Structure 1
Amino acid sequence: MRFLARSLTGLFLAAMTVALLALAASLIAGAVAERLSTQRPGQPARERVFTANVVTVTPGVLVPQTVAFGEIRSRRTLELRAPRGGRVLEIAEGVEDGATVTEGQVLVRLDPADATSARDLAQAGLREAEAEGRDAERGLLLARDDLAAAEAQAELRGQALTRQEDLQRRGVGSPAAVETAALALSSAQQAVLSRRSALAQAEARVDQAASNRSRAAIALAEAERALEDTVIRASFTGRLNGVSVVAGGLVGANERLAELIDPDRLEVSFRLSTAQFSRLLDDAGGLILAPVAVSLDVLGAEIAATGRVERVGAAVGEGATGRLVYASLEGARGFRPGDFVTVAISEPEVSGVALLPATAVDSAGGVLVLGAGDRLEVQVVPVLRRQGDDVIVDASAIAGREVVLERSPLLGAGIRINPIRPGAAEEAAAVAPAAPDTITLTPERRAGLIAMVEANSRMPEEAKARMLEQLAQEQVPAQVVARLESRMGG
């Protein structure tokens, strides 16, 4: 058995030796062959990089204009009408077509006789109502005194009944005396109820007197207002138009006397197409208060004014198209209602708007923006308006990013380019932004700083409390954090 074991061990060692020699020979042969080989490994294909002009999108303010034609109108026009019928007693001097009147100026006086009589009667009625009220107040005081006296009498009768009952229990009084005292108490209580009823009637009389006084006061106010309506005044400063009243004539209630026009509050109405009107809408669909410039050519002399868009017509109107827009005017001197003018509408300031070449935007509103690793990305932006070779886009989605100025079939999403930036040197030399004044701490960092402050025995208590309060806030001053970490070696 020992001979067999030793023979197998020898065979295993011999096989291992042969295998190691073969592996060494293979490694040496491979190394020699690689050394003697003259062929080089193939080079990977290079990615093609294109060159394109890019520009950083910076939102700005653009003021495109739309020209339309409109008509001047008055924003404040008042029809002077007679509030009540009567005879025209007086017409003020200068009440005629085209005359200028001031606010509060008396224009027409009607005969005030009937209104004066009605006012006097209303005053007399008010005085009667006030006298009735005073009488009711006095009656209320007397009713309260009567009730107090009746209640006192009932209390005395009750004491007398108690005394008689006590005497009867002791055998001194008689049942007849007790019965008489009880009847007297019942009569006193009945008197108390009667006085309470009288008091309620007195209070109701006071309330009725107050109501009558209020009605009389209302009647007097109406009479005084009717008397004031006999004098017709100008509600504001303006010019008269269509005066149709004569002195001594009879006018009916609500009859038209004249028209008052304010020449300083004019507006212009103009019609825009639906496409033009859509440019005056914001993101929410509301009307933008765009500034307007109005001009009128009068024999070579131009009259101009400025204003602002205020509202739009509620309906298109039968046989009309587009939208009817109204704009108020400021300093419209020389204009008159009915003038046919030229209106230039300017779009107001809109944040996030940029002007790009038309070659930078495709038909779907997509632009190529520069992404990570100088690779292109497709970004869709709303095109607000096209102006010649340029387009106005909403730059809120691409603000601060670089956009390719000229699109070509070779450029697309994922393509790497060599960007050519105008003014790159000036941008590189720009000053870096300043560090923030406050920072946000992690829980571990905050806990370490708080522990350091609490462990400092040389710091005054007031300073320690103030610093702990600062560290407990969400935003901690960066200067405080830097000073503490410098002391703790952080």
Structure 2
Amino acid sequence: MRFLRRGLSGLFLIFLTLALLVMAGQTLRDAVQDRMSRDARMPEARERLFSVNVTTAEAADVIPVLTAYGQVQSRRTLEIRAATGGTVQEIAPEFVEGGSVTEGQVLVRIDPAAAQDTLARAQADARDAAAEARDAAVALDLARAELLAAEDQTALRERAALRQRDIAARGIGSDAAVETAELAASAARQAVLARRQAIAQAEARLAQSETRQERAAITLAEAERRLEDTVIRARFSGVLTGVSLVEGGLVSANEQLGQLIDPDSLDVAFRVSTAQHGRLLDPQGRLADLPVRVRLEAFGMDLLSRGRLTRDNATVAEGQSGRLIYAALDDPGGLKPGDFVTVEVDEPALSDVVRLPGSAMDSAGTVLALGEGDRLEVLPVTLLRRQGNDILVAAAGLEGREIVTRRTPLLGAGIGVRPLRATDAPDDQALAAPAAPELLELTAERRARLVAFVEGNTRMPAEMRSRLLAQLQADRVPAAVVQRLEQRIGG
């Protein structure tokens, strides 16, 4: 009985489990059918607002700045050459690389012995020519006096012959006397011709002596110049470069001994595009007299010089494009020929323009403006200039509008935004302000090492050297200056 009771209990539990499983399956099937028969319900969408920085477009008169890169050149350079060959007898102490000389200073003396001998011979030849000219003049005077005497004698002989003919016509004289008188007159006339020939020869001798005297004077002047050429002087005050000469060396004629550069007469040559060149012309089509700023970065400090546009190249070199422009520097301020510098030219002022960040405009020449309901509008603009990271556009249709300063692919026409203005974030100016240069406190050994390097660098301009030494003597030194100096010395 116990076995039967347990068996029936087990069967009951099995059937109960199966019934529960069937009920669960039926419930799951009904739930799936009910879910599939329902209509799809979409969640309510909310518009996404993007935060954008905006700036108010304000029209103003702006002076565009054209930026280019050029090279400093000397406007006044002289090649020092030996006009005559010989042995170098004397060299000025300043005739070295980088030496400063003054106008008229003697730089080099070449052995003048050969030139002095040539000058002495030329002087002797000149004295001989002068003596010959005096002799020729005296001979001409004597020949003219002899001609006068011969003419007087001829006149006497003619009168004697005429008298003998008269006597013979009266039957008193003889024919032989007449013939003798006529022969004497003929001989007198022949003597006049001889004297005239002597005068012609004396005049030719005088002309030849004058020519010889002129040749002697030319030779003498040339000898004097050759003697003067043995002394080489500075044509103007300047600095020497390319010096390659030692005392006692032998130089040949026209050999280059160095170059003399005027450090106060410098130009900067820079190349611009044809369009940029057109903006620098005046109404007459000539290069306008515009101010120029030249900047050279060195050791964390900028060497700044000012000047003005002076001229442009007459032709375009083969293989080049654009235009080559020259500007004269008013004060070089430590610049040297050969320096590569940044050139900034103030163009003629533009009126009624708006300055915007360059990221505000896309490639199609449009900007996004804030419209009604803080929704964006697309506005076309006319680009006038690019100024570094900014752009200058025409103010027509933009003045007073709030412009998005930075375009992104997510922004477009009709999109709602949350504008961020400069007045909404007063701390932005403090964040945008340039950080003060980092200062370092140097140890005595480190400071002495840097000072010794600056003092021993002879190629550094004196003005820059003095400024660096003043900075190094301070308690705290800019980190950029220290880094640049240590890079130069391998620190």
The two structures have a TM-score, normalised by structure 1, of 0.56
3-state DSSP of counterpart to 1:324: strand
- In 2, are the aligned partners of 1:150 and 1:191 still within 8 Å (CA)? yes
Q: Which residue pairs with 1:83 in the alignment?
A: 83
Q: Deviations over 1:215-237 (max 9, x none)?
A: 11111111111111111111111
Specify whether residues 293 and 167 from structure 1 end up closer, same or farther in structure 2 by C-alpha distance, changes over 3 A only: farther
> How many Å separate the matches in 2 of 1:390 and 1:217?
79
Q: Does the C-alpha gap of structure 1 residues 308 and 168 become closer, same or farther in structure 2, counting only changes over 3 Å? A: farther
In structure 1, distance between residues paired with 2:214 and 2:138:
19
Alignment of 1:328-407 (within 5 A): 328-346=328-346, 388-389=393-394
For the pair 1:160 / 2:160, whether they are aligned, the reply is: yes
1:441-480 pair list within 5 angstroms: none
Deviation at 1:344, TM superposition (A): 2.8
Residue 300 of structure 1: CA displacement? 5.0
CA distance in 2, matches of 1:324, 1:307: 16
| Residues 355, 390 of structure 1: 8 Å contact kept | no
Partner of 2:110: 110
Match of 1:485 in 2: none
C-alpha contact (below 8 Å) 2:157/2:181 kept by paired residues: yes
Give distance in 2, aligned partners of 1:81 and 1:276.
41
Provide the C-alpha distance between the structure 2 equivalents of 1:171 and 1:284, rounded to a whole number of angstroms. Answer: 107
Q: 2:459 — aligned with what?
A: none
Q: Is the 8 A contact 1:67 1:344 kept in 2?
A: yes
Q: What displacement does 1:167 show?
A: 3.3
TM (norm. structure 2) is 0.56
* Separation in structure 2 between the aligned mates of residue 390 and residue 145 of structure 1, nearest angstrom: 103
Which ranges of 4 or more aligned residues in structure 1 deviate by more than 6 Å?
none
Q: Distance in 1 between the 2:254 and 2:214 partners?
A: 29
Judged with a 3 Å threshold, the aligned counterparts in structure 2 of structure 1 residues 290 and 186 are, in CA distance, closer, same or farther, namely: farther
**Is 1:87–1:249's contact at 8 Å kept on the other side of the alignment?**
yes
**Aligned residue in 1 for 2:315:** 315
Aligned to 2:100: 100
- Partner Cα distance (2:98, 2:81) in 1: 18
Take 1:211 and 1:125, find their aligned partners in 2: how far apart are those partners? 13
Aligned partners of 1:125 and 1:346: how far apart in 2? 67
Structure 2 residue matching 1:94: 3-state secondary structure: coil
Provide closer, same or farther for how the CA distance between residues 194 and 339 of structure 1 changes in structure 2, counting only shifts above 3 A: same
The secondary structure found in structure 2 opposite 1:293 is strand
Go from structure 1 to structure 2 and tell me whether the alpha carbon gap of 1:281 and 1:190 turns closer, same or farther (over 3 Å shift). farther
Q: 1:90 to 1:187 in 2, by over 3 A?
A: same
Q: In the aligned structure 1, how far is the partner of 2:347 from the partner of 2:206?
A: 68
Taking the aligned partners of 1:273 and 1:88, their CA distance within structure 2 comes to 50
In 2, Cα distance between equivalents of 1:149 and 1:169:
31
Give the structure 1 partner of residue 200 of structure 2: 200
- Say if 1:306 and 1:330, in contact at 8 Å, map to a contact too: yes
Match of 2:149 in 1: 149
Partner residue of 1:442? none
| Pair 1:291–1:150, CA change in 2 (3 A) | farther
Secondary structure (helix, strand or coil) at the match of 2:333 reads coil
Q: Which residue does the alignment assign to 1:66?
A: 66
Unaligned 5+ segments in structure 1 are: 1-60, 359-384, 392-490
Q: Partners in 1 of 2:313 and 2:173 — Cα distance?
A: 101
Unaligned runs of 5+ in 2: 1-60, 355-383, 386-391, 397-491
Question: How far apart in 2 are the matches of 1:184 and 1:355?
Answer: 112
Residue deviations 1:382-441 (CA, integer Å, cap 9, x gap): xxx8873279xxxxxxxxxxxxxxxxxxxxxxxxxxxxxxxxxxxxxxxxxxxxxxxxxx
- Equivalence for 2:128: 128
The one-letter code matched in structure 2 to 1:147 is L
What is the rounded CA distance, in whole Å, between the counterparts of 2:314 and 2:79 in structure 1?
Answer: 24
- 2-side partners of 1:205 and 1:390: how far apart? 92
| 1:263 to partner: Cα distance | 0.3
* Post-superposition offset of 1:195: 0.4
Q: Distance in 2 between matches of 1:189 and 1:142?
A: 19
Give the letter for the 2:316 counterpart: V
| Residue correspondence of structure 1 range 411-430 to structure 2 within 5 A | none
- How far did residue 356 of structure 1 move? 7.4
- Note the alpha carbon deviations across 1:252-280, whole angstroms, 9 max, x for none: 22222112111011001010110111233
Question: Is the contact made by 2:353 and 2:393 (CA closer than 8 Å) also made in structure 1?
Answer: no
Amino acid of the structure 2 residue aligned with 1:253: A
Q: Deviations over 1:86-142 (max 9, x none)?
A: 111111112211110111111111111111111111111111111111111111111
- Structure 1 246/185 Cα, relative in aligned 2: closer, same or farther at 3 Å? same
Deviation at 1:171, TM superposition (A): 4.2
Aligned sequence identity (%): 55
Matched, 1:292 2:292: yes
Q: What RMSD over aligned residues (CA atoms) do the two structures have, in Å? A: 2.8
**Distance in structure 2 (CA, Å) of the matches to 1:281 and 1:179:** 101
CA-to-aligned-CA distance 1:44-93 (integer Å, 9 cap, x gap): xxxxxxxxxxxxxxxxx997653322111101112212222211111111
**Separation (CA, whole Å) in 1 of partners of 2:299 and 2:138:** 83
Classify 1:346/1:184 alpha carbon distance in 2 versus 1 (closer, same or farther; 3 Å). farther
Structure 1 residues 21-54: Cα deviation after superposition (integer angstroms, max 9, x where no partner): xxxxxxxxxxxxxxxxxxxxxxxxxxxxxxxxxx
CA contact (8 A) 2:63 2:350 kept: no
Distance (Å, rounded) in 1 between the aligned partners of 2:226 and 2:243: 23
**1 CA distance for matches of 2:287 and 2:160?**
90
